[in-house]
Structure 1
Amino acid sequence: MMGLDEKAVERAWILIDGAVFDAPRFIYEYDDQPELEYLYLGTPHEPVIEVSPCLVKPSPSSRIWSEQGTWQDHAVVLMADEILPVLADHLRSLLSVKLSDGGYSYLRFYSPKQLVRLMGVFSDLERDQFSGPITDWLAVQNDGQWRRFCAEGQKSARQASEEGWFVLADHHIEALAAMAREEFATRLARYLCLNDTSRVNALIQQANSFGFRTEKEVSRFAELAVVHGERIEHPELQAILSSTEIPAGMRLNEVDKRLAYGVAS
């Protein structure tokens, strides 16, 4: 558990990912007088406000902290000495970021997994600029331990109308992609009960060579390859896997069926 002391709780806010967790229902069930703000409110994203990230300041008598295990995988905790409108507007300014090609992209910094990755690729100066008046970010990691990222908290808060001011450079994107690949390889190795990193990476590369891109597709191919071994190298199955005319899911289904019923042996 996070275990914030009384002084820290007074400065703490919870930012919940409304796309994966019913934040309002949970908040009002465990807090009679919370401060709550939908980040999509008053922005171009308001038409999908039902999946908006929610910024919450628990009341002094809140029961939300005692239910930490319920929300910690879907939220991050911030420390800031700001009033709700100012802090909410700064967070709204970060809902999307500018890319090096001039385009814009959503930034799911309110997801614990994404926040840990982002903070890992920012320099100290970038973290301070990104954080504005926020002095601390806390997010739970895959191992259940909480990670804290500190910032000076002295930068001015941005306005919601400035959304897109923060630039996510190519080196940020490359580093984020590399971290995501490494995390996926670790999860896949655990799922397949393989301790051979080279073998896991080879399976991922082989899956990619057949055009399998999503984690679900790559995982399924890797499982078939591990379970059936050399049988998946049968020319008939290789032809199916290599087909560019059949959708990825259908190819995997067909190969799975033929391996299961001994068509390729």
Structure 2
Amino acid sequence: MRQFALSEAASSHAFDDSLNWYAILEGADPGYDTLQLIYASIPSPEWLSIYQGGPYTELVKVSPVLLKLDQPDSWIRHWRTDFPGLAGSLLGSEQDLAGVGHHLRTLVSVRVREGADAMFRFHDAWIMSAMYPELSVAERAKLHGPITKWLWLLDDKAVLGEVGIKHSSDIEQLEDGWLHLDNVKLDAIRQGLAAKRNWKDTHA
């Protein structure tokens, strides 16, 4: 992973113009109306609900939202100013909105200890940046899938997942629940959530 100042992430040279850029945003935060924020910022937004069309369709009203961005640098500045507490991250991919959304749906459900299924907050930058170092190379390749760059915004810094990962040929055949969260990953997630709580306490 690579870390750099958020001011660098918000500059145009931080984003590869050859990629399509997206924001994946929390849809269940009681303090924010995500779709209202989107439509107040972008006149004709392109977006989709991650839970739509899958086994979680009945929860679509609280689904994470995948939003196409024409100007990701401007979006970061807007995000930090107007809704900094809304969980989310930025994604760069060669694929279109539907292709990225299809891949992200494979991350909605994960396996935890004893083989139980659980819903996973893959869109939360604090969780993902904390867990990412504990993934194997193969798991990282599957996690990225068609996503070339995954950017996590944490307070005044940005964390970039590895780029140039060799994607396996069976990425598109990933099934829901392919990711298994063992004790090491769960401990990392807890640390990420603790860091998020501390950040929120100091920015209340």
Q: Aligned in 2, Cα 1:120/1:61: closer, same or farther, shift over 3 Å?
A: closer
Q: Which residue of 1 aligns with 2:10?
A: 3
Counterpart-to-counterpart distance in 2, 1:53 and 1:133 = 18
Residue deviations 1:140-196, cap 9 Å, x none? 22x421111124163454468x2112222233223433x258748x949x98xxxxx
Partner of 2:52, secondary structure, is coil
Tell me which amino acid in the other structure corresponds to 1:171: V
**Taking structure 1 as reference, are residues 66 and 48 closer, same or farther at Cα in structure 2, changes over 3 Å only?**
same
Moved over 4 A (4+): 60-63
Partner of 1:45: 56
CA drift at 1:82: 0.5
> Matches of 1:139 and 1:61 in 2, distance apart?
13
Paired with 2:53 and 2:73, the residues of 1 have a C-alpha distance of 27
Residue 71 of structure 1: how far off its partner (Å): 4.1
Structure 2: distance between partners of 1:72 and 1:61: 15
Equivalent pairs: percent with the same residue?
A: 23
Q: 2:128 aligns with which of 115, 119, 123?
A: 115
Q: Normalization by structure 2: what TM-score?
A: 0.76
Q: Please identify which structure carries the higher strand content.
A: 2
Distance 2:91 2:131 in 1: 15
| Count of equivalent residues | 186
* Superposition map of 1:63-142 within 5 A: 64-69=75-80, 70-73=82-85, 74-141=87-154
- Ranges in structure 2 where 5+ consecutive residues have no aligned partner: 1-6
- List per-residue Cα deviations over 1:177-226 (Å, max 9, x = no partner): 3x258748x949x98xxxxxxxxxxxxxxxxxxxxxxxxxxxxxxxxxxx
- The residue type equivalent to 2:24 in the other structure is L
> Residues of 1 paired with 2:129 and 2:151: CA distance?
9
Higher-Rg member (1/2): 1
Q: Which runs of 5+ in 1 are unaligned?
A: 192-265
Distance 2:193 2:10 in 1: 31
Query: Larger relative CO (CA 8 A, sep 6+): 1 or 2?
Result: 2
DSSP 3-state at the match of 2:115:
coil
CA pair 4-153 structure 1, distance change in 2 beyond 3 A:
farther
Give the letter for the 1:8 counterpart: D
Q: Distance in 2 between matches of 1:12 and 1:4?
A: 14
1:11·1:80 contact (CA, 8 Å) conserved in 2?
Answer: yes
Structure 2 Cα separation of the partners of residues 72 and 128 of structure 1: 29
Q: Which amino acid aligns with 1:97?
A: V
**C-alpha root-mean-square deviation of aligned residues, in Å?**
3.1
| Equivalent pair of 1:108/1:114 in contact (CA under 8 Å) | yes
Kept in 2, the 8 Å contact 1:97–1:107? The answer is yes
